[in-house]
């Protein structure tokens, strides 16, 4: 329906204004179409920019969460290091006690009189 109306208006312009009118009418339609395309493109770009901002904000939150995770892991690893050192010292004392056990008859026999 719109195509018929535009054809009818173009025919009316040709009969009244001639070739100059047709050129002006085509320029006007092209200009209107370009404005519509620009506004559509602008809306798409704004949507894309908002999506990009949301994605960057999510990445920032992810990195901040990772930093907190690393800090927590660091404290756990320090505690684990202390436990390993304490256990190593205890096992060393146990080994020394076993090797120097004078109450065991086998150890006394090996050392001799």
Q: Give the residue numbers spanning the domain of 58.
A: 2-111
Q: What is the pLDDT of residue 26?
A: 83
**Per-residue confidence (pLDDT) for residue 18, from 0 to 100:** 76
Task: Please state, in angstroms and as integers, the Cα–Cα distance from residue 74 to each residue in 42, 46, 70, 109, 113, following that order.
Answer: 48, 42, 6, 50, 54
SS3 sequence of 7-32:
HHHHHHHHHHHHHHHHHHHHHHHHHH
Judge contact between 25 and 31, C-beta under 8 A. Answer: no
Q: Per-residue confidence at 2, pLDDT binned at 50, 70, 90?
A: low
Check residue 106 and give its pLDDT.
Answer: 72
Q: How many domains does the chain have?
A: 1
Q: Between 100 and 60, where is the model more confident?
A: 60
Per-residue tokens: 75: 């404290």
Output DSSP code: residue 103: S
**Number of other residues whose CB lies within 10 A of the CB of residue 45:** 10
More confident residue, 41 or 16: 41
Render pLDDT for 42-93 as a digit per residue (tens, 0 to 9): 999 999 999 999 999 999 999 999 988 888 888 888 889 999 999 999 999 9
User: Tokens 């009418």 belong to which residue?
Assistant: 25
């Amino acid at each position: 329906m719109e195509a018929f109306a535009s054809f009818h208006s173009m025919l009316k312009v040709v009969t009244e204004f001639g070739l100059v009118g047709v050129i002006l009418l085509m320029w006007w339609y092209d200009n209107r179409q370009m404005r519509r395309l620009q506004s559509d493109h602008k809306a798409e770009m704004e949507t894309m920019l908002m999506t990009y901002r949301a994605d960057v904000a999510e990445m920032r939150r992810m990195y901040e969460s990772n930093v907190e995770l690393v800090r927590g892991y660091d404290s756990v690893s320090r505690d684990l290091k202390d436990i390993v050192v304490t256990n190593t010292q205890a096992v060393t004392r146990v080994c020394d006690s076993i090797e120097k056990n004078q109450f065991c008859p086998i150890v006394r026999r090996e050392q001799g009189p």
